[in-house]
Structure formats: structure tokens, C-alpha cells
Chain A
Amino acid sequence: MNAPINIASLLKKTKDVFRFHGGVHPPENKTQSTQLPIGRLPMPKQLVLPLRQHVGNIPKTKVAIGDKVLKGQLIAEAEGAVSAAIHAPTSGIVSAIGEAVIPHPSGLPDHCITITPDGEDSWIERHPQDWRTTDVDTLINSLHLSGIVGLGGATFPTQIKLRSGKTTIHTLVINAAECEPYITCDDMLMREYHEQIVNGIAVAKRLLGATNVVIGIEDNKTEAIKAMRAAIANTDIQLKIVPTIYPSGDARRLVYLLLGQEVPHNKRSTEVGIQVFNVATVLALYRYFEFGEPALSRVVSMTGNVEQPQNFEVLFGTPLLDLVKAAGGSKADTSHYIMGGPMMGFNLPSENVPITKAANCIIAASPTLFEPTPPAMPCIRCSRCADACPVNLQPQELYWFAKSDNFEKAHDYNLFDCIECGACSYVCPSNIPLVQYYRYAKSEIIALDKAKEAANIARERNEFRLARIEREKQERAGKHAARAQGAKAAETSHDAPTANDKQAAIAAAIARAKAQKNADNIQPQNTTNLSASTQAEIDEINARRVAAGLTKQSPIEVNADKQAKIAAAVARAKSQKAEVDTLRQNADNQTKQPVADIEKQAKINAAIERAKTLKAAAAKETVNDVNTQPVIDLDKQAKIDAAIARAKAQKAAALKAKENQPKE
């Protein structure tokens, strides 16, 4: 962190690892939860499975309330490439489908499937695959049914990480650094499942076609290192011990530590031929192929202010309180629970949340374990934060820009390279919640970009509209002229076939154009030729939807809906603007008293939560849209409008040409 350490660490630079700039070394607090082997929980009374447990699309529900499910049965199917399936963690009855509180900092409820276990824990038929010989594409394709996501906490669906695209992967990095304090789930996995992990590495290596494998473990996990060393003895897998420094487990930092290669900021590591997998993830891969077991559970560290911290194998959907109980219950002064580590984790909104794929660690917090932060003081430019930043950013500058809403500058100073590791806040003597400011600035920039995009589209659409009105005027003028001519022709001659023909042609063209326009507005329907069973399913879904108040919308309603959305977007932009203004005002008042800082902090938090809520709401909107009517998005709408306008222009031109011809 400070320069003297950096010099020392330079001298200490061991032969085979490459130290990155900055980093911190918080108290590890790992021994508490490694005293006991990985434990198991009694079967919970209920399992609540949020559909949103990963990065990407919400999976599609495949069960209905009252359905009987078996352990490992698919209950929600991956929707699109970036999505992950969800399976029943045990056998039982689907007892509810609907909103429930989920482990998310927003505290908002989200769509969940609740299963009441029948206690039999009986499996569906499993389909192991011979991962050593089966064609790689087949294996990868089957993964979208596995529900496996990155278990390091990022929860990126694993099957996409295996489809590397054009670039070939030469090196597979296994992330076993586990740099956050308190978390020990990977450590325990390596101690107890090293053989399976090595098999999992072989699976991932084959699927990726990688030639090198490097495992990175922090030097504070001596037992895991010993176990893994023995397990890889007869393989060509390399094991590197990295210094215990946070955040060595960040993928880019780890790649640099192990390989000395900086992944360019605008590229993914796969683009330079490196793929990073967490140990727990490769283990899940192995189990999926070897035993046909989809992702049903994970190891979670239950630690902090509980009687007996320990790691547990926890079925997804298990209520947090069951886990707490398994660890001997929480001590009396427990104030709340943190999911993740103390550096990047977030406070759980309630103790009634279920354990999900992202839950690597739950820390029971108390005021003694996590002292409340004193009010923030002004930045004294001590640059401790810059010395600690693993990305080599200037956190104090970013803070300054974020605070004064100078987003462009913040962007220029590479705000988006910030990994929100919190190392800077950790060392800040003024207790400035730096990371919060970065989150706020990032969300503002994203929102502003979106608003700008929306404004651009709106402007384009307006231009199209004006052009269309103009063209229509010309068309009308043309028609008038034609009519006038027709009248004149009728005057001169009693039979005026040409004029009448023309009239008819125009009418036909207009009718065609109208038909065309209507056709454009009609949504493609794939409900015309359906089997009875599908029809039944649809009916049932419709019934449910009606029950849920989601009645089918007509295209006009869709338009109204869109209009409403635009209005909402505008309103959102406005409220954000207002938010920014208040924050700016507060920034002016900030030095008045630290109390103002707390308030501001609260406001920022509120803003962040709001942004998140909006995002969640927006995501939900999309879900609803998918369920009801595919709403044409603005962009597409603009394109369609353009196409119509073009078609009209062509027609008008053709019409004019026709009009001009006979006159000759």
C-alpha cells in the first residue's frame, strides 16, 4: 500500500509470480471456518429458487404450481445464450411461483419458484456423459441444461465461457486465490475434493482445447496447497503460490500474477487466449458430465458472528436461517448478514433470503466485528488510495470528479476500469466511501448514455415523421391534380378511361400501402398450427397470466405501452437530473459538517438503490414483454418507420411517373 511496502515487495518478488501494483492485506479471519470439514444441512422445509441467480436472461419456467418434481429435474430452462437453467434441488411439490425476497442489495422481491420437499430426495434419471471421448461440441451444447455458473461469485453462465469464438485458448487459469477475508469455501473444497477438482480441470481443459493449466492459490492456504500438489503430481498442471494480497483473486490481477500478462482493458482474457475458471466451477463441470448432476448446491462459508463458523454444502434455495442454525446460530449482538466477503460483499436485505448460486460466503455481522464507519472527512490528498489501487487508478481524482458530477472527466480517468474492489476505501484516512461514489458515477454515466440514445432515436423518429407528413402532403397535392385533370378530361370527353384507370390505380396503391402498414403492425404469430397439448399449455399460461393481471395487449396497447415507457424513460432521466442536482447541492454543503456527509451518503445509497431498482424494473418489464407481446423496441420501430417511409416515397415516385407518362 505505501511506498515502503512496495519497495519491499519488489525485492521479495519471487521467481515465478508477478506482483501487481497496490493491493491491501486485511486481517484474514479464515481460520474460524476451517476448523470443521464441510458440513451438510438437514432438508429445509422449503426451497425458494430465484430465477435470477446468474448474469444474463431470466430462464423460462417449466413447471406449474402443484407439479411434482424430482431431484435434478429442470424447472426453468435457459433462455438464450447468456442464461442458466434451474433445477429442483430435491424431490417435492412446486408450492409457489411468484415474487419472494431474494439476496440482492436492493431488497426487492423477484420471481422465485418454491419447492416443498417430500423428504425422499429421489433423483430423476441421470445422464452421465463420457467427457473424455464425446465430441466437444456435444458436450458444450449439453451444458445449457446444466445450470452451471461461475461459482466464484460472478455467476456468469459457464457454457458461454466455453464457447470461446474465434480465438483459441492456450492457457486455462484456475482461480483458487480466494483473496477476500473470511471466505474459505474454495479452500475447503480443495482440501476435500482435490481429486475431483483435478478431474474437473481436465474436463475444462478438454472443452477449451487449452494446452497449459495454471492454478493460483494464495500462500495462506497451506493445507489446500498440499492437497492440490499431491493431486496434480502426475499431471502437467502447474500450481503457483501467489502472495496473500487482496485482490489477487480478481481474474485480471490473477492472470497477471501467474503469467505476467496484462489483459488489455478493452479485451476479455479469452481474446488473448486465456480463460479463467474458479475451482468450484470446474468441480461442478466434472460432476455434471461424470455423474449427470446439474447445479443443485454449492459450498458456502457460514462465518462471522455465529457460534461455530463452518462451511456447508447447501442446496440452492435453502433459507439463510437454516444455514445460520447449522452453524450453531448467531450470537446475540448479530446486527445483519453480509453476503460475500467484507471487501466487496453487500448487506442482505433480510434474513429470510434463500442461498443462491452466487452465495460463496455469509458473514454474520455485529457492531464489534464491523465497526460503523466514522463520518467522512474531506480528502486530504494523501494518495494512500492511489497506492492501494490494484488497477493503478487515481481514486482521489475519480472521487473528486464523481462528487462534482464531472462524469466526462471521470470517464477520461478510466472510471470504468475500476473493479470496485474497495482497496481504496479500505485505506482512506478520511473514511470517504469512495466505491459508492464510483458506483454512483458509473450508473449516472450509463443512464445518461441511455437517455442520450433514447433522445437520438426520438429525434430521428420525429424527422421521419416530418418527412412523412411532407410526402403525404405532396401525395395529396398529386391526387388533387389528378382529380382536377380527371374532371377536365370528363368535361372534354364522355368516356375518360385513362383518368378512371388512374384513379383506380391510385386507390389500389393506397389500399396496398394501408394493407402493408397494417401487416407491419401485425405481430408475427406462431400460434396458428398448434398441437392440442401446446394449445392447452398456452391456455393455461394465459389463464395464469390473466390471473396475474397480465392481460393480452393489442398492438395499439403495445404502442401505448411503448409510449408509456418513453414517458417513463424521460421521467427517469428527469428524476436522475434532480438527483444529481441534490447531490451537487449536498456536495457544496459537504464540508459544512460531516453530518451532511452521512446524509449525502444515505442519498447516494438511495440513488444507487433506486438505479438498481430501475434496472431491475426495466429487466422485469422485458420479462413481462416476453410473456405478453413482443414489443418492438424503439430502434426496430425507427427502422420499420424508415422502411415504410421509403416504401411510400417509392410509391409516390412511381405514381408521379405514371401520372406524367400518359400526358405526353
Chain B
Amino acid sequence: MNRSPHITNAPTVSSIMSKVLIGLLPGIIVYAWLFGGGIIITLTLATATALVTEALMLKLRKRSIQPFLSDYSAIITAWLLALAIPPLAPWWLIVVGTAFAIIVAKQLYGGLGYNPFNPAMVGYAVLLISFPVIMTKWPAALSLAQTKLSFMDQFHYIFSATLPSNVNIDAVTSATPLDYLKTQLKLNQSMTVIQSAPIFGIVGSKGVEMIVLAYLAGGLFLLQQRIITWHLPIAFLGAIAAIAGLFWIIDSTQFASPMFHLFSGASMLGAFFILTDPISGPTTQKGKLYFAAGAGIITYLVRVYGGYPDGVAFAVIFMNICVPLIDMYTQPRVFGHRE
């Protein structure tokens, strides 16, 4: 038998995936610290749902369960989805979203390696379209909330939608800066006034900035570990900065600064953790640049002109559609083939 090469030096799929999970940890810790333990509940729920549905589907599809469950890819989908939806959303929301992501967006397409769309983003988009009100009800950071919810309060709220009798939900939630910005601009408020609202921090939204920085740290870890390459994050963040900068230079009273866009919403999470899903992304280096730049521009346009507060999910899904085309037109020149 001739099975050359006889040696390999590759991280296993599960080690790659587990490093992605590790990369998410700093963001999760800061998240829990700023917004309370609710996110831990959501993450746990999502993880459990993902594993159960994945196992179920593998069984239905008569595939062996163990190697595919231990590749951690389902957990990544679960975590990304959990981090993208409001942490106090009712339990069934995350369950439905995760199950949809795993069953429809992943397993029905053939499972690991075969899904054309990022499952987490499909799950997110479906939830956003189906339950827009819940999906945009974000709790304010603990430091801002008029009433602070304890972990047990959050636990209760997630599972029974009931709060302690003295608290009402509007006191807990607030609009996200991206959302607030959009509605206030429609009311002809000037940018300086809008940005002086307490939910705004130094560059992005108060508190969320910290989470974003933690995501950035996790992303740098992935770069250092060679789990991802620079192409996707740099092109994505660069495109957002460039297009935001352009609009901002044209009219800084109407358009937020590039820094605000980089540090708000899912920009950083998207750059390092969502866009970098290899399965639904392009494989050529040039293709990665186009893919990420396109996603950045669409994200910005949805944020500024679209009907939804953040555009990362739609941008990623749209660019996923373009992947075969991008791959086809960005084939590198093969050695010895002159153009």
C-alpha cells in the first residue's frame, strides 16, 4: 500500500474548533461580567440543543455520531448564535434558533463540510425575521440598568418570562446604540446629541465596547495560533472602516464615525469568529478578501439604510451565496501557467 505522505502535521478538526471556542471565552467572560449571568444560561441551553439535535440528525441520517459530535463544530454554531441574540430572550427562542441552525442549515445540507451557509447566521436571521420584537430587546449593561437583575432573576425570566414583582421589563432593556442611532437620526436629531445618550461609550456602546475588545483579543489569539489568517478580519474591518469613513467625511452630522461602527454590534465577533467559518467561506486568498470586503460593505449599508439594526448576519448569508462564484473567479495562477 502506498499511502504517502507517511507523516502529517496537522491540527485535528476538533483541536481547531476547540481553539475557536477558547477564542470566544474572553468575550463571554466580559459579557457575563457586564450583563449578568444570563448569557451563561443561554449558552448552556444553546450548547445542549445543538448537541442533541446534531446527534439526532446524525442518527436519522445513519452517520456515526461520536466523531462528528466531538468535532465541536455544533458547539461553535450554538455559541455564536447565543452571543448574537439578546441574553434575556426566552429559553424557547434560543432552542428554536439553535435547532433550526443545526437541523436545517447544517444537517439537511449534508452536515459538517457541506453547508453552504453559516448555520449560526441562518438561525439568527430566521429568529430576527420571525420574532423581531424579542430579538431587538437588549438588556442594558448592568451599570446602566435602572434595576439590576440577579442571576436567579435572569434565570427566572429566561424560563418563565416573569420578573420580580417590583421590576418591569422596560426598566431592564434599552435600545442598542445602533438601533438608537437609526431611530434618532430619523427624528432629525444631531449626531452629537444622540451620542451623548448614556448608552454610548467612548467609541461604541457603553459596556459593549469592552466585550468587543475581548473578542478582538480572542481573534488575535486565533491569528497567533494560525487557526485563521489575516485576510478575512482585515478585509472585513477595513471595508467597514473605509465605507464608514467615507460617509463620515462627507457628512459627520448624519453618519457615525468608523470607530463607532467597528466597535458596535457584531463587527468584531463577525470579523474573527463568524466570517472565518471555513466551510461556508471562500478558499482562495484573494476570494477571502473579496468575500470579507463585500460582507463589510453590506453590513454597513444594512446598518445605515436597512430595516434591521445590525447587518452582519445578512451580509454573511448574502456573501455565502456568492462563494462559488468568488472561488471560481479568484483561482490563483498555477505554477508554470502564465496568464
Interface residues of A (CB under 8 A from B): 2-4, 20-21, 24, 26-27, 105, 181, 252-253, 256, 262-266, 338, 340, 342-347, 365, 370, 373-375, 377-384, 386-387, 390-394, 396-397, 413-414, 417, 420, 422, 425-431, 433, 435-436, 591-595, 601, 605, 608-609
How far is A37 from B24 in the complex, measured between Cα atoms in Å?
54
CB neighbours (8 Å) of A386 from chain B are 283-284, 332
A380, B113: Cβ atoms closer than 8 Å: yes
- By the criterion CB–CB under 8 Å, are A344 and B336 in contact? no
Per the 8 Å Cβ criterion, residues 1-47 of B in contact with A are 1-13, 15-16
Q: Are B6 and A594 in contact (CB under 8 A)?
A: no
Distance of A436 Cα from B3 Cα, bound (Å) = 7
Say how far B112's CB is from chain A's closest CB, in angstroms: 5
With a cutoff of 8 Å between Cβ atoms, the chain B residues found around residue A378 in the complex are 111-114
Q: Is the CB of A4 within 8 A of B229?
A: yes
Interface hub of A2, A27, A396, A431 (most chain B Cβ within 10 A): A2
A26 to B6, CA, bound (A): 11
The answer, among A181, A382, A414, for a CB contact under 8 Å with B334, is: A414
- What is the CB-to-nearest-CB distance from A287 to chain B, in angstroms, rounded to a whole number? 32
CA distance A598 to B228 in the complex (A): 29
Chain A residue at minimal CB-CB distance from B16: A429
Which residue of chain A is the closest to B230 with respect to CB atoms?
A3
**Inter-chain contact B6/A427, CB cutoff 8 Å:** no
| B126 close to A (CB within 8 Å) | no
**Given A346-B4, A380-B279, A381-B279, A390 contacting B335 (CB threshold 8 A):** yes
Determine if B336 and A264 form an interchain contact, defined as CB atoms under 8 angstroms apart.
yes
A347 lies within 8 A of B336 (CB):
no
Between-chain CB contacts (< 8 Å), 18 pairs: A26-B9, A27-B7, A265-B337, A377-B71, A378-B112, A379-B113, A380-B16, A381-B113, A382-B16, A425-B4, A426-B9, A427-B8, A429-B10, A429-B12, A431-B8, A591-B114, A592-B62, A593-B63
**6 closest pairs, A vs B, by CB?**
A378-B113, A422-B5, A265-B336, A593-B64, A3-B229, A346-B2
* Contact partners of B331 in chain A: CB under 8 A: 394, 413
Add 13 more A-B contacts to A381-B278, A390-B335 (CB < 8 A): A3-B231, A342-B6, A343-B7, A347-B2, A377-B112, A391-B336, A394-B283, A394-B331, A396-B283, A435-B4, A591-B114, A592-B61, A592-B63
A179 to B: closest C-beta gap in Å = 13
**Least CB separation from A106: chain B residue:** B2
Partner of A392, one of B9, B110, B334: B334
B333 within 8 A of A: yes
Q: Which of A24, A265, A413 contacts B9 (CB 8 A)?
A: A24
Q: Known contacts A379-B113, A380-B112, A594-B67; is A344 also within 8 Å of B333 by CB? A: no
From B7, B10, B112, B114, A181 is in contact (CB under 8 Å) with B7
Q: In the complex, are the beta carbons of A417 and B336 less than 8 A apart?
A: yes
Q: How far is the CA of A54 from the CA of B235 in the complex (A)?
A: 51
Q: Does B223 contact A (CB under 8 A)?
A: yes
Could you tell me the distance between the alpha carbons of A67 and B337 in the complex, rounded to whole angstroms?
53
Bound together, the chains give a CA A431 to CA B16 distance in angstroms of 13
In the bound complex, residues from chain A placing their C-beta under 8 Å from that of B230 are 3-4
Contact, CB under 8 Å: A377 / B13: yes
C-alpha spacing A393/B336, complex, angstroms: 11
Among A340, A392, A397, the residue within 8 A (CB) of B283 is A397
Contact A391 B3 (CB under 8 A): no
Known: A414-B334, A593-B63. A370 touches B6 (CB 8 A): yes
The interface centre, meaning the residue of A374, A382, A417, A595 with most chain B CB atoms within 10 A of its CB, is: A382
List which B47-66 residues lie within 8 A (CB) of chain A.
61-64
Q: Tell me whether B2 and A373 are in contact (CB under 8 A).
A: no
> In the complex, what distance in Å separates the CA atom of A378 from the CA atom of B8?
17
Bound Cα distance from A253 to B338, whole angstroms? 16
Q: Does B123 contact A (CB under 8 A)?
A: no
Q: Shortest CB–CB separation between residue B222 and chain A, in angstroms?
A: 11
List residues of chain A with CB within 8 A of the CB of B62. Answer: 592
Bound complex: CA A115 to CA B120 (Å): 70
Query: Which B residue sits closest to A395, measured CB to CB?
Result: B283
* Residues in B neighbouring A387, C-beta threshold 8 A: 229, 285
Partner of B63, one of A105, A430, A591: A591
If the complex has contacts A391-B334, A593-B64, are A426 and B7 also in contact, measured as CB distance less than 8 A? yes
B5 touches A252 (CB 8 A): no
A636 and B336 CA atoms in complex are apart in Å by 36
Nearest chain B CB to A108's CB is how many angstroms away?
A: 13
B86 contacts partner chain A, Cβ-Cβ < 8 Å: no
B6 to A380, Cβ gap below 8 A? Answer: no
Report whether A383 and B112 are in contact in the complex, using a CB–CB cutoff of 8 Å.
Answer: no
> Could you tell me the distance between the alpha carbons of A412 and B171 in the complex, rounded to whole angstroms?
62
Instruction: Out of B2, B229, B283, name the residue touching A608 (CB < 8 Å).
Output: B2
Partner of A265, one of B71, B278, B334: B334
Task: Output the least CB separation between A364 and chain B (Å).
Answer: 12
Residues of B within 8 A of A427 (CB): 8-10
When chains A and B are docked, how far (Å) is the Cα of A391 from the Cα of B278? 22
Q: B281 interface residue, CB < 8 Å from A? A: yes
Please measure, in the bound complex, the distance between the C-alpha atom of A139 and the C-alpha atom of B337, giving whole angstroms. 36
- With contacts A252-B335, A426-B8 taken as known, whether A382 is within 8 angstroms of B112 at the C-beta atoms is no
Q: With both chains docked as a complex, state the minimum distance between the C-beta of B23 and any C-beta of chain A, in angstroms.
A: 15
B223 touches A4 (CB 8 A): yes
State in angstroms the CA–CA spacing of A592 and B284 once bound together: 28
Q: How far is the CA of A35 from the CA of B45 in the complex (A)?
A: 60
Q: Is B226 an interface residue (CB 8 A)?
A: yes
The docked-state distance in angstroms from the alpha carbon of A338 to that of B61 is 40
Give the docked Cα–Cα distance between A73 and B212 (Å): 79
Residues of B within 8 A of A383 (CB): 278, 283-285
Alpha-carbon distance A414/B9, docked complex (angstroms): 26
Q: Do A414 and B5 touch across chains, with their CB atoms under 8 A apart?
A: no
Q: Chain B CB within 10 Å — which of A27, A391, A428, A593 has the most?
A: A593
Write out the residue numbers on chain A whose beta carbons fall within 8 Å of the beta carbon of B112.
377-378, 380, 591
Which A residues lie within 8 Å of B284 (CB)?
Answer: 383, 386, 394
Residues of B within 8 A of A429 (CB): 10-13, 15-16
Q: Which residues of B contact A433 (CB under 8 A)?
A: 3
Looking at the assembled complex, report how far the CB atom of B9 sits from the nearest CB atom of chain A, in whole angstroms.
6
Residues of B within 8 A of A601 (CB): 3
Most chain A Cβ neighbours within 10 Å, of B3, B64, B229, B327:
B3
Interface string of B291-311 (1 = CB under 8 A from A): 000000000000000000000
Interface centre among B11, B13, B73, B338 (most CB of A within 10 A): B13
Among A373, A392, A396, A594, the residue within 8 A (CB) of B8 is A373
A601 to B1, CA, bound (A): 10
Cα distance A426–B62 when bound, in Å?
Answer: 30
Select B333's contact among A2, A266, A370, A392, beta carbons within 8 Å: A392
Measured between beta carbons, the chain A residues less than 8 angstroms from B73 are 380
A375 surroundings in chain B (CB, below 8 A): 67
CB-defined contacts of A380 to chain B, threshold 8 Å: 13, 16, 73, 112-113, 278-279
Q: Which residues of A contact B114 (CB under 8 A)?
A: 378, 591
**Which of A4, A181, A375, A378 is most buried by chain B, counting CB atoms within 10 A of its CB?**
A378
Contact (Cβ within 8 A) A365 B6:
yes
Report whether A374 and B335 are in contact in the complex, using a CB–CB cutoff of 8 Å. no
A417 touches B4 (CB 8 A): no
Task: List chain A residues, Cβ under 8 A from B332.
Answer: 21, 386, 392, 394
Contact partner of A591 among B15, B111, B229, CB < 8 A? B111
| Residue-wise interface mask of B (90-134) relative to A, using a CB-CB cutoff of 8 A (1 in contact, 0 not) | 000000000000000000001111100000000000000000000
* Alpha-carbon separation in the docked complex, A229 to B32 (Å): 64
Of A252, A256, A426, A595, the residue contacting B10 (CB under 8 A) is: A426
Contacts of B61 in A (CB 8 A): 592
Measured between beta carbons, the chain A residues less than 8 angstroms from B283 are 381, 383, 386, 394, 396-397
Is B5 in contact with A435, judged by CB distance below 8 angstroms? yes
Instruction: List chain B residues, Cβ under 8 A from A384.
Output: 10
**CB <8 Å contact, A342 and B335:** no
The answer to whether B4 touches A422, judged by C-beta atoms less than 8 angstroms apart, is yes
Instruction: Please measure, in the bound complex, the distance between the C-alpha atom of A433 and the C-alpha atom of B7, giving whole angstroms.
Output: 11
Question: Given A396-B283, A397-B283, are A426 and B5 also a contact pair (CB < 8 Å)?
Answer: yes
